[in-house]
């Protein structure tokens, strides 16, 4: 029995049987290896032949002859059946004449052309629709761009006007001296604290501030 | 390792000898047979060309031994010239697809003779 193998035989069988070895089992029924001699107790054992009487033998011979004849005829029938089936069932064996082949080819061509025409019609409709959609889309985008540009121009104009408005109070070279004069004439004291109520608390007298500054600026300028 | 489909993945030469025979599946003390077509020279546990039936030799609860046969494919393979193993031939003979195998008759008459002998022994002893 195949499953009765030692370790080496088992591995060889696994390699041989490929993917179906789930059905094999090598753990049980480990026999001795083939190269070991016959056991002493079995050395002189002669296996008994199965008894077969003459009568039985002749009967079996007769039956076998009969069986073989019958099986041969059955086989013959099945072979013919297979051949018949192969001839009738498959279309590969039917040989066409050149005209028939030409006609078949023409039929296929026509069918293909019809399909192509139908698909072309569909495609035309689809492409026209897509073109229209594209035109509408581009138009929308162009209008949106025009609007955007106008808005931007407006914003820029407004900014320019604002800047012009602002530039009236700018200090330029011409009115620099006047600006300095006014600044010196109107000193501002930022040294104050402020509370939640918005009240200002001056820490020191702001009137002293201009006198000190009149003396000190030359020195500061030098030190800087 | 993946299981292979029972419909068969076995490779075979066109002209090689095929045989319809049993493959013992099941496990220890629980035989179960697939009836398969495979190359005659191959070991029974190698991939089969095609499985054409199954055979459960142990009687079930209703004292039946279940056999499934794909007769169409068996006819095809026999027509293609596949050989038959003796147990497979016996089974197909009992199934009625082929003539009854002589071995079936032999086991039958041996069983009958044994039963008769036992009955006689009982009669003489009692």
Contact A200, A192 (CB under 8 A): yes
**Which chain A residues are within 8 Å of B76, Cβ to Cβ?**
78, 82
Domain hosting residue B57, numbered range: 18-125
**CB spacing of B3 vs A78 below 8 angstroms:** no
Domains of chain B: total: 1
Does any domain span residue B117? yes
Q: What is the CATH number of the domain that holds B42?
A: 3.30.1320.10
Q: Locate the chain B residue with the closest alpha carbon to A85.
A: B76
Does any domain span residue B31? yes
- C-alpha separations of B74 from A58, A183, B9, B37, B90 in Å: 31, 119, 17, 9, 14
3-state secondary structure A91-157: HHHCCCCHHHHHHHHHHHHHHHHHHHHHHHHHHHHHHHHHHHHHHHHHHHHHHHHHHHHHHHHHHHH
Distance CA A192, CA A201 (A): 5
**CB spacing of B79 vs A79 below 8 angstroms:** yes
* DSSP letters spanning B6-39: TT------SSSPEEEEEEEEEETTEEEEEEEEEE
**Which chain A residues are within 8 Å of B78, Cβ to Cβ?**
74-75, 78
pLDDT, average across residues B57-65: 95
Q: Give domain limits for chain A.
A: 1-40, 54-89, 104-170
pLDDT tier at A102, thresholds 50, 70, 90:
very high
Q: Locate the chain A residue with the closest alpha carbon to B80.
A: A79
**Taking the model in full, what pTM does it have?**
0.52
Residue A20: which of B4, B76, B78 has the nearest Cβ? B4
**Which chain B residues are within 8 Å of A55, Cβ to Cβ?**
none
pLDDT, average across residues A62-88: 94
Does any domain span residue B6? no
pLDDT tier at A22, thresholds 50, 70, 90:
low
Does any domain span residue B55? yes
Does any domain span residue B68? yes
Q: Locate the chain A residue with the closest alpha carbon to B34.
A: A23
pLDDT tier at B64, thresholds 50, 70, 90:
very high
pLDDT tier at A96, thresholds 50, 70, 90:
confident
3-state secondary structure chain A: CCCCCCHHHHHHHHHHHHHHHHHCCCCCCCCCCCCCCCCHHHCCCCCCCCCCCHHHHHHHHHHHHHHHHHHHHHHHHHHHHHHHHHHHHCHHHCCCCHHHHHHHHHHHHHHHHHHHHHHHHHHHHHHHHHHHHHHHHHHHHHHHHHHHHHHHHHHHHHHHHHHHHHHCCCCCCCCHHHHHHHHHHCCCCCCEEECCCCCEEECCCCCHHHHHHHHCHHHHHHHC
Residue A22: which of B3, B79, B102 has the nearest Cβ? B3
Tens digit of pLDDT for each residue in A2-19? 444 344 444 444 444 445
Q: Locate the chain A residue with the closest alpha carbon to B71.
A: A78
Does any domain span residue B39? yes
């Amino acid at each position: 029995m195949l499953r009765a193998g030692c370790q080496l035989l088992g591995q060889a069988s696994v390699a041989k049987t490929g993917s179906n070895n789930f059905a094999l089992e090598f753990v049980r029924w480990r026999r001795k290896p083939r190269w070991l001699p016959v056991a002493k107790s079995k050395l002189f054992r002669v296996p008994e032949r199965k008894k077969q009487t003459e009568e039985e033998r002749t009967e079996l011979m007769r039956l076998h002859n009969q069986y073989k004849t019958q099986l041969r005829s059955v086989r013959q029938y099945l072979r013919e059946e297979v051949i018949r089936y192969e001839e009738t069932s498959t279309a590969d064996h039917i040989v066409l004449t050149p005209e028939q082949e030409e006609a078949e080819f023409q039929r296929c061509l026509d069918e293909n052309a019809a399909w192509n025409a139908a698909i072309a019609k569909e495609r035309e409709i689809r492409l026209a629709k897509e073109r229209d959609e594209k035109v509408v889309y581009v138009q929308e985008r162009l209008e949106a761009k025009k609007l955007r540009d106008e808005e931007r121009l407006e914003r820029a104009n407004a900014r320019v006007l604002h800047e012009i408005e602002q530039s009236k109070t700018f200090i330029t070279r011409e009115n620099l001296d006047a600006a300095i004069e006014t600044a010196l004439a109107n000193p501002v004291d930022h040294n104050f604290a402020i509370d939640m109520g918005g009240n200002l608390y001056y820490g020191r007298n702001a009137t002293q501030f201009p006198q000190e500054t009149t003396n000190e600026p030359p020195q500061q300028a030098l030190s800087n | 390792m993946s299981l292979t489909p029972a419909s068969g993945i076995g490779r075979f030469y066109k002209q090689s000898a095929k045989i319809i025979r049993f493959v013992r599946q099941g496990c220890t003390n629980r035989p179960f047979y697939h009836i398969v077509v495979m190359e005659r020279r191959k070991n029974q546990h190698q991939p089969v060309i095609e499985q054409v039936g199954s055979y459960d030799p142990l009687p079930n609860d209703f004292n039946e031994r279940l056999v499934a046969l794909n007769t169409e494919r068996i006819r095809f393979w026999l027509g293609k010239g596949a050989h038959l193993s003796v147990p497979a031939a016996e089974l197909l003979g009992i199934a009625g697809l082929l003539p009854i195998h002589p071995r079936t008759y032999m086991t039958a008459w041996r069983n009958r003779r044994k039963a008769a002998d036992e009955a006689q022994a009982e009669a003489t002893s009692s």
